[in-house]
């Protein structure tokens, strides 16, 4: 659907009466906590920010399928295998809802795909770490999907309608993902010494990268204030990280395991969790493409896209046939 927004809105020195009216209506919708829909006028910067955020989110879901899909054939039982398959399929579904939401902002799917495969688009840095053991399936579900939930529950109220509605369904599935991860670790924590060690090792490796999933500290996050004013974001990076740390600090006790953070404690005076200094240099290096698995993940994505060409062609041929048929 073509956007009704004039492409040059905001560029001319003196806004027209219509532009002022459109801006006023947009501001009022945001102010009332109402929703912006694809048909509505929106500032170009809002459209651009959302397109970037929603498409990066979609890319993360799709790339995030890879570390876990690698373990489907090695899952230790039929039950574990079917649960993991269902989870990986859910992630494909999340990617689909989010690409659809991103498309309503005016960028076609092919262009979004191209941005990912050419390496121009970013996705969550966490997926550039390898999944080394079966226990990693537990740590990813518990910590990575857990951090995703903490990030995403507030997004259910994002001001852009299609994004918020997609997030409602995604969050329901993410909570199942987190529980299955926790349950894998719980089973290992009650197992042999080797299984306990494997679980602890997975937690050790995913703890810090999962804390970094919330993004840099607030004072180094320049886009956050505008996203909060537009009610895309509802809480700051540090606020969300605090919530998450508080949650896992309790849950790890049920596992009888530890978080690899000797500095972790709740500070009664400030009401905040103190955690170790996170390695933001590593985070930036991974975001820029230099993580342990970046090139592998992108190469696999390109390969899957090439191998899926026949499916896209068949679907397009079917759609053309359907369009031409007389069946309404
Ligand atoms: Fe997901
Ligand atoms: Fe998930």
Residue 221: is its pLDDT beyond 50?
Answer: yes
- How far, in Å, is the centroid of ligand 2 from the Cα of 278? 24
What SS3 state is found at 44? helix
- pLDDT recorded at residue 16: 86
Question: Lowest-confidence range among 8-12, 93-97, 152-156?
Answer: 8-12
Q: Which residue has the higher pLDDT, 14 or 123?
A: 123
Q: Residue 319 Cα, ligand 2 centroid: separation in angstroms?
A: 31
Q: How many CB atoms lie within 10 A of CB 171?
A: 18
Per-residue burial over 81-107, b if 16 or more Cβ lie within 10 Å, else e, is: eebbeebbebbeebbebbbebbbbbeb
**pLDDT for the residue numbered 327:** 55
Candidate from 27-31, 122-126, 220-224, 296-300 with smallest mean pLDDT: 220-224
Do residues 155 and 97 lie in contact, with contact meaning Cβ atoms separated by under 8 Å?
A: no
Q: How far is the CA of 276 from the centre of ligand 1 (A)?
A: 27
Q: Which residues surround ligand 2, an ion (CB under 5 A)?
A: 145, 174, 177
Provide the pLDDT for residue 14: 74
Q: For residue range 78-132, list pLDDT tens digits in order.
A: 999 999 999 999 999 999 999 999 999 999 999 999 999 999 999 999 999 999 9
Tell how far the Cα of 48 is from the centroid of ligand 2, in angstroms.
26
pLDDT value for 100 = 97
Distance from the alpha carbon of residue 112 to the mean position of ligand 1, in angstroms: 18
Q: Which ligand is nearest to the CA of 176?
A: 2
* Interval between CA 217 and ligand 1 midpoint (Å): 24
Residue-level pLDDT at 326: 56
Provide the pLDDT for residue 222. Answer: 73
49-69 b/e (C-beta count within 10 Å ≥ 16 → b): bbbbbbbbbbbbbbbbbbbbb
Local confidence band at 3 (pLDDT 50, 70, 90 cut-offs): very low
In this predicted structure, the answer to whether residue 154 has a pLDDT above a threshold of 90 is: yes
State residue 46's pLDDT score.
Answer: 97
Task: Please give the C-alpha separations between residue 87 and each of 13, 83, 152, 229, in angstroms, as whole numbers.
Answer: 51, 6, 17, 34
Model pLDDT, residue 72: 97
Average pLDDT of every residue of the chain: 92
Query: How many Å lie between the centroid of ligand 2 and the Cα of residue 173?
Result: 7
pTM of the model: 0.90
pLDDT at residue 13 tops 70: no
**Is the pLDDT higher at 253 or at 322?**
253
Task: Please say if the pLDDT value at position 51 is more than 60.
Answer: yes
* Ligand index nearest the alpha carbon of residue 178: 2
d(CA 101, CA 50): 10
- pLDDT for 6: 47
Tens-place pLDDT, residues 255-274: 999 999 999 999 999 999 99
Q: Measure CA of the first residue to CA of the last residue in the chain; give whole Å.
A: 21
- % pLDDT > 90, the chain: 86
Residue 224: the pLDDT is: 82
**Among 8-22, 78-92, 168-182, 249-263, whose mean pLDDT is lowest?**
8-22
Query: Quick check: 302 pLDDT over 70?
Result: yes
The DSSP output letter for 278 is P
CA of 172 to the centre of ligand 2 (A): 10
Q: How far apart are CA 249 and CA 140, in angstroms?
A: 16
Is residue 5 predicted with pLDDT exceeding 60?
A: no
Lowest mean pLDDT among 44-53, 91-100, 145-154, 213-222: 213-222
pLDDT over 70 percentage in the chain: 95
Longest alpha-carbon distance in the chain: 73
- Write down the pLDDT at residue 288: 85
Contacts 24+ apart (CB under 8 A), 84-89: 84/137, 84/180, 87/141, 87/176, 87/177, 87/180
Q: Taking residues 67-76, report their average pLDDT.
A: 96
Asked whether the predicted pLDDT for residue 9 surpasses 70, the reply is no
């Amino acid at each position: 659907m073509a956007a009704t927004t004039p492409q040059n809105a905001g560029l001319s020195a003196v806004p027209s009466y219509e532009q002022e009216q459109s801006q006023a209506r947009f501001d009022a919708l945001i102010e009332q906590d109402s929703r912006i829909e694809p048909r509505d006028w929106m500032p170009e910067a809002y459209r651009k920010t959302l397109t970037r955020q929603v498409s990066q989110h979609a890319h993360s879901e799709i790339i995030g399928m890879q570390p876990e899909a690698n373990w489907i054939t090695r899952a230790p039982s039929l039950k574990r295998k079917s649960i993991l398959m269902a989870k990986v399929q859910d992630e494909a579904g999340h990617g689909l809802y989010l690409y659809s939401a991103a498309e309503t902002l005016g960028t076609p799917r092919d262009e979004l795909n191209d941005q990912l495969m050419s390496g121009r688009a970013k996705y969550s840095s966490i997926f550039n770490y390898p999944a080394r053991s079966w226990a990693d399936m537990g740590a990813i579900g518990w910590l990575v999907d857990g951090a995703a939930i903490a990030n995403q529950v507030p997004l259910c109220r994002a001001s852009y309608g299609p994004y918020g509605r997609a997030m409602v369904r995604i969050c329901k599935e993410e909570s199942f993902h987190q529980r299955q991860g926790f349950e894998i670790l719980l089973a290992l924590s009650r197992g042999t010494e080797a299984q306990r060690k494997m679980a602890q090792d997975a937690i050790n490796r995913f703890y810090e990268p999962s804390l970094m999933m919330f993004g840099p500290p607030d004072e180094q996050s320049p886009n956050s204030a505008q996203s909060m004013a537009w009610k895309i974001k509802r809480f700051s990076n540090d606020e969300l990280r605090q919530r998450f740390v508080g949650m896992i600090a309790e849950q790890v006790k049920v596992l009888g395991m530890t978080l690899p953070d000797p500095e972790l404690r709740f500070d009664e005076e400030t009401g905040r969790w103190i955690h170790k200094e996170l390695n933001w240099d590593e985070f930036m290096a991974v975001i820029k493409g230099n993580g342990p698995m970046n090139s592998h993940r992108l190469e696999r994505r390109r390969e899957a896209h090439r191998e899926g060409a026949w499916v896209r062609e068949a679907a397009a041929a079917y759609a053309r046939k359907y369009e031409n048929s007389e069946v309404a």
